[in-house]
Amino acid sequence: MSSLFEPFRAGALKLANRIAMAPLTRNRSPGAVPGPHAVDYYRQRASAGLLITEATAISHQGQGYADVPGLYAPEQLAAWKQVTDAVHAAGGCIVTQMWHVGRISHTSLQPGGAAPVAPSAITAKTKTVLIENGVPSFVQTSAPRALETAELPGIVADYVRAAKAAVGEAGFDGVEIHAANGYLIDQFFKSGSNARTDAYGGSIDNRARFGLEVTAAVVAAIGGGRVGIRLSPVTPANDVVDGESQALFEHVLRGLAPLGLAYLHVIEGATGGARELPDRPFDYAAAKAAYRQAGGQGAWMVNNGYDGATAALAVEQGADLVAFGRPYIGNPDLVERLKAGAPLAESDRSTWYGGGAKGYTDYPSLNPHH
Ligand code: 8OZ
């Protein structure tokens, strides 16, 4: 039996196994408040060693899609508390993924209909999801405005406020900082979206600065043992690109090493797509070695397209945790199925984003009492 199914400790997080449910955007939180079925949805999946919530906005400005949840208003936090209570009662561990989308937004989703904010005024060639009358549509993101240097401490403070509220009012075991997939922090990291001439643009050192400052501030507020971070060194998601990914992310990882993080969540290749990108090579073992050599002790969580066999192999080869995304939509009891070598259910793509219980909480477990 693979150690995939044995308990593991990541910082302050005590996990029943090494399997994580990756964050999955489901657009079922009207008014940014987790909807009526969120409690069942997460409780059904509580046998994962770690549940990572869908990406959740730290502020109204940080929101970029219709009906995604937030961490910035009392009713949002109260709804999350119902979720964390249910997961804890089922023996699970749950962190929330803290999200600021930066330029991946639309004026109709921003406070006062304003332009989304970004490191630079460069529009992403990508779409976001709006929902009208329950019907999702994919629309081009709006042109962003560049953030003033003086605005950055306010955004760091939004992350800190959200992290404190998450582990305080909302009862989460910790937080994951979303620094992947072309959202605000990743927009700062990568040269294609960052043309700044202040201390937050230009050199690798400067482009890494914002993400490292956010992480250090969150760690100072709630303790590194309750903080993870998600990185996607080479994903083309949301139109991000960088010409020196290896040097950039080894620098980021060396910067994270002294912070005592619970885990590093690394998306290998294109998010939800190919693990190998011929035009975007990346050596993950070298990146991990750079982190360890700098003293980093966080759990190394791998993600992207794993199945039971490749996950077991990854753990044998030194990964600490393996995250599964899409398989968790249709398989609430994924841990039990992988353990039994049982077949996995496919999920219905038409109900991934938006809607109600259908395609959300109606996927059965093999064993009815899960
Ligand atoms: C799919 C649809 C909308 C958002 C990510 C938060 O890629 C997302 C996301 C994924 O990290």
Residues 6+ apart with CB under 8 A from 222: 163, 164, 167, 174, 175
Count Cβ atoms below 10 Å from residue 43 Cβ, excluding itself: 21
Q: Do residues 328 and 47 make contact, with C-beta atoms less than 8 angstroms apart? A: no
Q: Do residues 334 and 348 make contact, with C-beta atoms less than 8 angstroms apart? A: no
User: What does the pLDDT look like over 188-212, one tens digit per residue?
Assistant: 999 999 999 999 999 999 999 999 9
What's the gap in Å between 25 CA and the centre of ligand 1?
A: 6
- Domain 8-351 - what CATH class? alpha beta
| Identity of residue 163 | A
183: annotated active-site residue = yes
**If you take atom 4 of ligand 1, which residue's CA is the nearest one?**
25
Segment 285-290 shows an average pLDDT of 98
Segment 236-255 shows an average pLDDT of 98
In the chain, the largest separation of any two C-alpha atoms, in whole Å, equals 58
- Residue among 65, 101, 178 whose CB has most ligand 1 atoms within 8 A, to mutate: 65
Segment 249-271 shows an average pLDDT of 98
**If you take atom 6 of ligand 1, which residue's CA is the nearest one?**
55
pLDDT at 133: 86
pLDDT band for 367, please (50, 70, 90 cuts): confident
Pocket lining: 271 vs ligand 1, CB cutoff 6 Å:
yes
Work out the mean pLDDT of the chain and round it to a whole number. Answer: 97
Pocket lining: 315 vs ligand 1, CB cutoff 6 Å:
no
Q: Do residues 294 and 253 make contact, with C-beta atoms less than 8 angstroms apart? A: yes
Question: Atom of ligand 1 at shortest distance to CA of 99?
Answer: 6
Q: Do residues 4 and 315 make contact, with C-beta atoms less than 8 angstroms apart? A: yes
Pocket lining: 82 vs ligand 1, CB cutoff 6 Å:
no
Cα separation, 242 vs 281, in Å, equals 11
Question: Atom of ligand 1 at shortest distance to CA of 27?
Answer: 3
Pocket lining: 65 vs ligand 1, CB cutoff 6 Å:
yes
